[in-house]
Amino acid sequence: MTVDAPAPVALPAGPAGLPVIGNLLQMQRHGMLDFYRKLWEDCGDIATASIGPMKFLMVTRPEHIQHVLVKNAHKYTKGLSHDKLRLAIGNGILTLEGDVWSRQRKLMQPTFTPRGIKPFADIMIDETQGLIERWNALPQNAQIDISQEMQRVTMKVISRSMFGLDMDRDFKGASEALVALLEYTSASSTGLIDIPLFVPTPTNRRLKEAKRELRDFLMGIIKKRREEGLQEDLLSMLMTAKDADTGEFMTDEQLHDEALIIFFAGHETTASLLTWTSYLMSNNFVVERKLHRELAEVLGGRGPRLEDIPNLPYTRMVLDEALRLYSPVPIVARDLQEDDELAGYQIPKGTLAVVALYNTHRHPEFWERPLEFYPEHFAPEAVEKRPRYAYAPFGAGPRICIGLHFAQMEAVLILADIAQRFRLRLARPHDGSVRYVGVTRPSTPILMTVEKRLDA
């Protein structure tokens, strides 16, 4: 006798919402991250919510993440969930779909392999030196906003790597323009009614202005490069990347969109990682001491080099743990293109799947000390025991972050150098709460003092 599997049931439970607008007010009141955290606490690992007619399906378990991002990536596309981002940053590798995406990914992949990015280590080391000099020159007890400091250094790294120039110096409005794009995408994701871009609201006007400023700047660089010849930067690598099937190169429009996306995706994220690492370390002297010990043994006071990275496993564990607790991209969204079955539920086409990494990364089933800063979570034996998709700060499956080796190399080189020279301490208490604006930022500035390490 065979026992029939239970028939799948409709969508999982979710919190009650208001007629028409559903859970919109709760999302706006709590902010996206807290909303999904509360949803997880109240309804469990898989749950639904809604804004107007749009149904959201939150998933947190590793096997469900694998289902959405890896095994069924063809059904769960970026689709509608990335409309706002497309409007803000155009059609590049982050926002494209299907064959066009696959072509761009193939073209760009070799540039972002561990080998492809090696030439940029020197820029990372050099910019960290610049940061160290600035901090050395600070008066005693001076306070820094750690998030701003990290954004500045990662912006310099990505713009020099991308275009061979320092955007922080040569294009003063760059940072503000990028923030305008980020804020547009995150603010509009919890809006019920889309106000078309041609309506001149202050947000729409700022978005258009920011896009124009960035476009003029980037197109100017592309034109100059075409006239003056290639250099040793990411832009030149992209200009010479040739499609193996068609023999075609990228057009200026494509180069513009890809450059903007690399720039957009490539510095706020790493800045967020370094900000939270500094914050977590300042509260945890045991971790700090262990890190100092490793750095002293491997580097002995000299600056780190590319070849030191494999010899700094604890430094990597510290960063991996900061990425767990404060993932710069804590939510990954997908638009379901056809009816599906997941965890015994029937999920209709058009549902927005929300991979709530923030919850997964704090799930007591997979983490020994879910809410503590405990780099030993990343000791090889601990990693081996954990399901693979219990940790996915760079996403998973075909759309996994293309810049992950770049980010990891940059974060290790910067952290190793500054931790050898300085102790960062909170200048005033901060509770570690976050503001989610497309990336995870501190809710209020984290002000720190920079103490020179006399023991190093």
The site for ligand HEM (CB under 6 A) is made up of 93-94, 105, 261-262, 265-266, 269-270, 273, 328-329, 332, 393-395, 399, 401-403, 406-407
Residue 17 CB, nearest distance to ligand HEM (Å)? 26
Between the two ends of the chain, the Cα-to-Cα distance in Å is: 72
Looking at beta carbons, which residue is closest to ligand HEM? 403
Distance CA 181, CA 163 (A): 20
Residue 92 CB, nearest distance to ligand HEM (Å)? 7
Asked if residues 168 and 152 have their Cβ atoms less than 8 Å apart, the reply is yes
Nearer to ligand HEM among residue 427 and residue 446 (C-beta): 446
Asked if residues 143 and 431 have their Cβ atoms less than 8 Å apart, the reply is no
Both tokens of residue 144?
């820094």
Residue 59 CB, nearest distance to ligand HEM (Å)? 13
Three-state SS at 404: helix
Nearer to ligand HEM among residue 61 and residue 103 (C-beta): 103
Nearer to ligand HEM among residue 259 and residue 427 (C-beta): 259
Sheet holding 54-59, edge to edge: 46-51, 54-59, 352-356, 331-336, 76-77
Nearer to ligand HEM among residue 262 and residue 312 (C-beta): 262
Strands 345-347 and 434-436: unpaired
Nearer to ligand HEM among residue 26 and residue 360 (C-beta): 360
How many helices (H) and strands (E) would you count in the chain? 17, 12
Strands 434-436 and 143-145: unpaired
Residue 235 CB, nearest distance to ligand HEM (Å)? 12
Residue 358 CB, nearest distance to ligand HEM (Å)? 12
Distance CA 17, CA 49 (A): 8
Residue 141 CB, nearest distance to ligand HEM (Å)? 31
Q: How many CB atoms lie within 10 A of CB 301?
A: 10
The DSSP output letter for 93 is T
Q: Give which of 455, 413, 447 is closest to 430, Cα–Cα.
A: 447
Distance CA 261, CA 52 (A): 30
Asked if residues 442 and 435 have their Cβ atoms less than 8 Å apart, the reply is yes
Nearer to ligand HEM among residue 12 and residue 266 (C-beta): 266
Nearer to ligand HEM among residue 24 and residue 439 (C-beta): 439
Residue 357 CB, nearest distance to ligand HEM (Å)? 7
Nearer to ligand HEM among residue 32 and residue 427 (C-beta): 32
Helix, strand, coil percentages for the chain (3-state, nearest 5):
55, 10, 35
Nearer to ligand HEM among residue 262 and residue 281 (C-beta): 262
Distance CA 236, CA 259 (A): 11
Strands 352-356 and 54-59: parallel
Residue 151 CB, nearest distance to ligand HEM (Å)? 13
Residue 155 CB, nearest distance to ligand HEM (Å)? 11
Residue 406 CB, nearest distance to ligand HEM (Å)? 4
Q: Give which of 242, 256, 211 is closest to 88, Cα–Cα.
A: 211
Nearer to ligand HEM among residue 273 and residue 450 (C-beta): 273
Distance CA 78, CA 96 (A): 8
Asked if residues 235 and 163 have their Cβ atoms less than 8 Å apart, the reply is yes
